[in-house]
Amino acid sequence: MRTAAVTARSAYGMGARTLGQAFDEFRRWASPWLIASVLVLALGGRLSLGGFTPTDLWVVLGFVAAQPFVEWVVHVVMLHWRPKEVGRVTLDLHAAKKHRAHHADPRDPSLVFIPLRVLVVTLVVEIALWWAVMPRIELALTAIATVAAVGLVYEWTHFLVHTDHTPTGRLLAVLRRNHRLHHFRNENYWFTITNPVADHLLGTAPAKDEVEVSPTARDLLGAGETV
Protein backbone atom coordinates (compact mmCIF):
# COMPACT_ATOMS: atom_id res chain seq x y z
CA MET A 1 0.00 0.00 0.00
CA ARG A 2 1.38 3.40 -0.95
CA THR A 3 2.27 5.49 2.06
CA ALA A 4 1.19 9.10 2.54
CA ALA A 5 4.85 10.14 2.58
CA VAL A 6 5.44 8.59 -0.85
CA THR A 7 2.28 10.18 -2.25
CA ALA A 8 3.18 13.60 -0.87
CA ARG A 9 6.72 13.34 -2.22
CA SER A 10 5.67 12.44 -5.75
CA ALA A 11 4.65 15.34 -7.96
CA TYR A 12 3.50 13.03 -10.75
CA GLY A 13 4.15 9.53 -9.44
CA MET A 14 3.52 6.89 -12.06
CA GLY A 15 0.94 9.18 -13.67
CA ALA A 16 3.63 11.15 -15.50
CA ARG A 17 2.64 11.48 -19.15
CA THR A 18 5.50 13.45 -20.68
CA LEU A 19 9.21 12.64 -20.62
CA GLY A 20 9.78 15.85 -18.70
CA GLN A 21 7.29 14.89 -16.00
CA ALA A 22 8.74 11.39 -15.83
CA PHE A 23 12.30 12.69 -15.46
CA ASP A 24 11.21 15.20 -12.83
CA GLU A 25 9.85 12.31 -10.78
CA PHE A 26 12.77 10.00 -11.58
CA ARG A 27 15.35 12.43 -10.24
CA ARG A 28 13.59 12.60 -6.87
CA TRP A 29 14.71 9.10 -5.93
CA ALA A 30 18.02 8.07 -4.40
CA SER A 31 18.85 5.12 -6.65
CA PRO A 32 19.47 7.10 -9.86
CA TRP A 33 21.68 9.58 -8.00
CA LEU A 34 23.76 6.84 -6.42
CA ILE A 35 24.33 5.06 -9.71
CA ALA A 36 25.02 8.34 -11.51
CA SER A 37 27.62 9.27 -8.88
CA VAL A 38 29.49 6.01 -9.48
CA LEU A 39 29.26 6.62 -13.23
CA VAL A 40 30.64 10.16 -13.01
CA LEU A 41 33.51 9.18 -10.71
CA ALA A 42 34.52 6.12 -12.75
CA LEU A 43 34.18 7.89 -16.09
CA GLY A 44 36.05 10.93 -14.82
CA GLY A 45 38.87 8.74 -13.56
CA ARG A 46 39.02 6.81 -16.82
CA LEU A 47 39.14 9.96 -18.93
CA SER A 48 41.87 11.45 -16.76
CA LEU A 49 44.08 8.38 -17.26
CA GLY A 50 43.66 8.30 -21.05
CA GLY A 51 45.44 5.63 -23.07
CA PHE A 52 42.30 4.08 -24.55
CA THR A 53 42.77 0.80 -26.43
CA PRO A 54 40.45 -1.49 -28.41
CA THR A 55 40.12 -3.57 -25.24
CA ASP A 56 38.14 -0.75 -23.64
CA LEU A 57 35.65 -0.96 -26.48
CA TRP A 58 35.38 -4.73 -26.15
CA VAL A 59 34.68 -4.36 -22.42
CA VAL A 60 31.87 -1.93 -23.16
CA LEU A 61 30.40 -4.08 -25.92
CA GLY A 62 30.63 -7.19 -23.76
CA PHE A 63 28.66 -5.63 -20.92
CA VAL A 64 26.02 -4.22 -23.27
CA ALA A 65 25.60 -7.60 -25.01
CA ALA A 66 25.36 -9.45 -21.70
CA GLN A 67 22.88 -7.07 -20.05
CA PRO A 68 19.62 -8.61 -21.40
CA PHE A 69 20.71 -12.03 -20.16
CA VAL A 70 21.81 -10.63 -16.79
CA GLU A 71 18.38 -9.00 -16.43
CA TRP A 72 16.67 -12.28 -17.33
CA VAL A 73 18.67 -14.38 -14.86
CA VAL A 74 18.35 -11.86 -12.01
CA HIS A 75 14.62 -11.48 -12.62
CA VAL A 76 13.94 -15.22 -12.80
CA VAL A 77 16.31 -16.47 -10.10
CA MET A 78 16.51 -13.62 -7.58
CA LEU A 79 13.43 -11.44 -7.96
CA HIS A 80 11.03 -14.36 -8.36
CA TRP A 81 12.70 -16.35 -5.62
CA ARG A 82 10.20 -18.26 -3.51
CA PRO A 83 10.83 -18.59 0.25
CA LYS A 84 12.33 -21.94 1.15
CA GLU A 85 12.03 -23.76 4.46
CA VAL A 86 15.31 -25.18 5.76
CA GLY A 87 14.52 -26.81 9.04
CA ARG A 88 12.95 -24.12 11.19
CA VAL A 89 14.46 -21.32 9.13
CA THR A 90 12.75 -19.62 6.19
CA LEU A 91 15.21 -18.50 3.53
CA ASP A 92 14.01 -15.45 1.66
CA LEU A 93 15.65 -12.58 -0.22
CA HIS A 94 15.13 -8.91 0.51
CA ALA A 95 15.06 -8.20 -3.24
CA ALA A 96 12.39 -10.87 -3.73
CA LYS A 97 10.25 -9.45 -0.92
CA LYS A 98 10.41 -6.00 -2.50
CA HIS A 99 9.65 -7.45 -5.92
CA ARG A 100 6.57 -9.23 -4.62
CA ALA A 101 5.39 -5.91 -3.21
CA HIS A 102 6.12 -4.32 -6.61
CA HIS A 103 3.90 -6.88 -8.34
CA ALA A 104 1.17 -6.25 -5.79
CA ASP A 105 1.31 -2.49 -6.41
CA PRO A 106 3.02 -1.66 -9.74
CA ARG A 107 1.93 1.98 -9.38
CA ASP A 108 3.98 2.64 -6.24
CA PRO A 109 7.12 4.50 -7.39
CA SER A 110 9.01 3.55 -4.23
CA LEU A 111 8.88 -0.10 -5.35
CA VAL A 112 10.01 0.45 -8.95
CA PHE A 113 13.67 1.13 -8.18
CA ILE A 114 16.34 -1.32 -7.09
CA PRO A 115 16.08 -1.51 -3.27
CA LEU A 116 18.82 0.68 -1.78
CA ARG A 117 20.21 -2.11 0.39
CA VAL A 118 20.54 -4.33 -2.66
CA LEU A 119 21.94 -1.53 -4.81
CA VAL A 120 24.66 -0.53 -2.34
CA VAL A 121 25.83 -4.12 -1.91
CA THR A 122 25.76 -4.69 -5.67
CA LEU A 123 27.80 -1.57 -6.42
CA VAL A 124 30.40 -2.38 -3.76
CA VAL A 125 30.77 -5.95 -5.05
CA GLU A 126 30.95 -4.81 -8.67
CA ILE A 127 33.60 -2.18 -7.94
CA ALA A 128 35.70 -4.61 -5.88
CA LEU A 129 35.32 -7.39 -8.46
CA TRP A 130 36.39 -5.42 -11.49
CA TRP A 131 39.16 -3.71 -9.55
CA ALA A 132 40.50 -7.15 -8.63
CA VAL A 133 40.16 -9.04 -11.90
CA MET A 134 41.03 -6.44 -14.52
CA PRO A 135 44.74 -6.40 -15.47
CA ARG A 136 44.93 -2.59 -15.53
CA ILE A 137 43.24 0.16 -13.54
CA GLU A 138 42.11 1.74 -16.82
CA LEU A 139 40.09 -1.34 -17.76
CA ALA A 140 38.68 -1.60 -14.25
CA LEU A 141 37.39 1.97 -14.50
CA THR A 142 35.97 1.26 -17.97
CA ALA A 143 34.13 -1.76 -16.58
CA ILE A 144 32.79 0.10 -13.54
CA ALA A 145 31.63 3.06 -15.64
CA THR A 146 29.90 0.72 -18.09
CA VAL A 147 28.14 -1.21 -15.33
CA ALA A 148 26.92 2.07 -13.85
CA ALA A 149 25.73 3.37 -17.22
CA VAL A 150 23.88 0.14 -17.95
CA GLY A 151 22.35 0.23 -14.47
CA LEU A 152 21.16 3.80 -14.95
CA VAL A 153 19.55 2.88 -18.27
CA TYR A 154 17.86 -0.06 -16.54
CA GLU A 155 16.45 2.12 -13.75
CA TRP A 156 15.20 4.79 -16.16
CA THR A 157 13.61 2.28 -18.55
CA HIS A 158 11.91 0.36 -15.77
CA PHE A 159 10.61 3.56 -14.23
CA LEU A 160 9.41 4.95 -17.56
CA VAL A 161 7.47 1.85 -18.63
CA HIS A 162 5.57 2.01 -15.35
CA THR A 163 4.44 5.60 -15.91
CA ASP A 164 1.53 6.73 -18.06
CA HIS A 165 3.93 8.02 -20.72
CA THR A 166 3.06 6.59 -24.13
CA PRO A 167 6.32 6.04 -26.03
CA THR A 168 6.64 6.94 -29.70
CA GLY A 169 9.74 4.85 -30.38
CA ARG A 170 9.18 1.24 -31.40
CA LEU A 171 11.70 -0.32 -28.99
CA LEU A 172 10.37 1.45 -25.91
CA ALA A 173 6.80 0.67 -26.97
CA VAL A 174 7.71 -3.04 -27.17
CA LEU A 175 9.45 -2.92 -23.79
CA ARG A 176 6.47 -1.19 -22.21
CA ARG A 177 4.00 -3.69 -23.66
CA ASN A 178 6.10 -6.69 -22.64
CA HIS A 179 6.62 -5.48 -19.10
CA ARG A 180 2.94 -4.76 -18.63
CA LEU A 181 2.15 -8.24 -19.89
CA HIS A 182 4.55 -9.56 -17.25
CA HIS A 183 2.72 -7.63 -14.54
CA PHE A 184 -0.87 -8.01 -15.67
CA ARG A 185 -1.00 -11.07 -17.96
CA ASN A 186 1.40 -13.70 -16.72
CA GLU A 187 4.41 -13.29 -14.42
CA ASN A 188 6.17 -16.32 -15.92
CA TYR A 189 7.06 -14.55 -19.17
CA TRP A 190 8.59 -11.28 -20.46
CA PHE A 191 11.39 -10.90 -17.91
CA THR A 192 13.74 -8.41 -19.58
CA ILE A 193 13.52 -4.65 -19.13
CA THR A 194 15.91 -2.88 -21.53
CA ASN A 195 16.20 -5.34 -24.41
CA PRO A 196 13.77 -8.15 -25.39
CA VAL A 197 16.38 -10.33 -27.09
CA ALA A 198 16.95 -12.61 -24.08
CA ASP A 199 13.23 -13.32 -23.73
CA HIS A 200 13.05 -14.28 -27.40
CA LEU A 201 16.13 -16.49 -27.27
CA LEU A 202 15.16 -18.15 -23.98
CA GLY A 203 11.54 -18.80 -24.93
CA THR A 204 9.80 -16.35 -22.61
CA ALA A 205 8.35 -13.97 -25.18
CA PRO A 206 5.22 -15.71 -26.46
CA ALA A 207 2.39 -13.98 -28.24
CA LYS A 208 -0.06 -12.50 -25.76
CA ASP A 209 -2.88 -14.90 -26.58
CA GLU A 210 -0.66 -17.97 -26.29
CA VAL A 211 -0.59 -17.74 -22.49
CA GLU A 212 -3.46 -17.60 -20.03
CA VAL A 213 -4.07 -14.78 -17.60
CA SER A 214 -2.30 -15.78 -14.41
CA PRO A 215 -4.19 -15.51 -11.11
CA THR A 216 -0.89 -14.87 -9.32
CA ALA A 217 0.51 -12.02 -11.44
CA ARG A 218 -0.27 -9.59 -8.61
CA ASP A 219 0.31 -12.13 -5.81
CA LEU A 220 3.46 -14.05 -6.64
CA LEU A 221 3.20 -16.45 -3.73
CA GLY A 222 -0.44 -17.15 -4.46
CA ALA A 223 -1.31 -16.98 -0.80
CA GLY A 224 -2.50 -13.43 -0.33
CA GLU A 225 1.01 -12.38 0.70
CA THR A 226 2.89 -9.55 -0.99
CA VAL A 227 6.00 -9.15 1.19
Per-residue pLDDT of the chain (227 residues; tens, 9 = 90+): 344 444 444 556 788 889 999 999 999 999 999 999 999 999 999 999 999 999 999 999 999 999 999 999 999 999 999 999 988 899 999 999 999 999 999 999 999 999 999 999 999 999 999 999 999 999 999 999 999 999 999 999 999 999 999 999 999 999 999 999 999 999 999 999 999 999 999 999 999 999 999 999 999 998 655 44
The 10 Å CB-count burial string (b at 16+, else e) for 85-112 is eeeeeeeebebbbbbbbbbbebebbbbb
Cβ contact 91:83 at 8 Å: yes
Tally of structural domains, the chain:
1
Residue 219 resides in a domain: no
Residue 85 resides in a domain: yes
Q: Considering the entire predicted model, what is its pTM? A: 0.91
Residue 216 resides in a domain: no
User: What is the extent of the structural domain holding 143?
Assistant: 15-210
Residue partners of 134: CB distance under 8 A and separation at least 6: 140, 143
Report the distance separating Cα 10 and Cα 12, nearest Å: 5
